[in-house]
Amino acid sequence: MNQLTTVDTKRLLELLENELELYKQIRKLTEKQAQLLNKDEIDSFNGSLEKRAELIEKIKGLHQDSDPLMQSYVSAIKNVANADESIEKLREQIRGEITECSRLNDENMAAMKDKVEEHTKKIDEKSAQRKGIGGYAQAVPNTPEIFDKKS
């Protein structure tokens, strides 16, 4: 049976705690993104997306270290009785953060879609107005005599 050493268990706990902290940071960024969308602060929103991508890269790096330890842990716990409570608690917290981040991200995507539709509608209205003004401009005589005449 594959058994994790105490050192491996401590290292796995440390990696999982770091991962949980990174997911909490992602959740906070995702919450802030909703506020930035509401305020139409697109540059700040894009900056926030870049920060989130950096955090995701850090998580991927943690996974490179934690995956072998996690595989050993999972193979060592053939039944729940052998499970380490602190590891299981962290895994559950991470799942909760991931679920919340996903939910918030879905809400932000829907809000972004609404903003795009709203701005597209405004652009279409302005284009229609401009076309209408263009029609009136063609109807007005554009001869120099009219503008050069002194009243």
> Is position 53 within any domain?
yes
> Is position 142 within any domain?
no
pLDDT reported for residue 149? 55
Q: How far apart are alpha carbons 80 and 82 in whole angstroms?
A: 5
**pLDDT (tens digit, 9 = 90+) per residue, 65-87?**
898 888 888 877 765 556 788 99
The share of the chain scoring above pLDDT 70, in percent, equals 80
Containing structural domain, residue 38: 6-111
> Is position 17 within any domain?
yes
> Is position 130 within any domain?
no
143: left (phi over 0), alpha (psi -120 to 50) or beta: beta
> Is position 133 within any domain?
no
Residue 148 predicted with pLDDT over 90: no
Q: How many independent structural domains does the chain possess? A: 1
> Is position 60 within any domain?
yes
Over residues 105-113, the mean pLDDT reads 93
Q: Please give the model's pTM, rounded to 2 decimal places.
A: 0.73
Question: If pLDDT is split at 50, 70 and 90, which confidence band does 1 have?
Answer: very low
Contact criterion met (CB below 8 Å) for 90 and 12: no
> Is position 23 within any domain?
yes
The candidate with the shortest Cα–Cα distance to 37, out of 104, 123, 137, is 104
> Is position 128 within any domain?
no
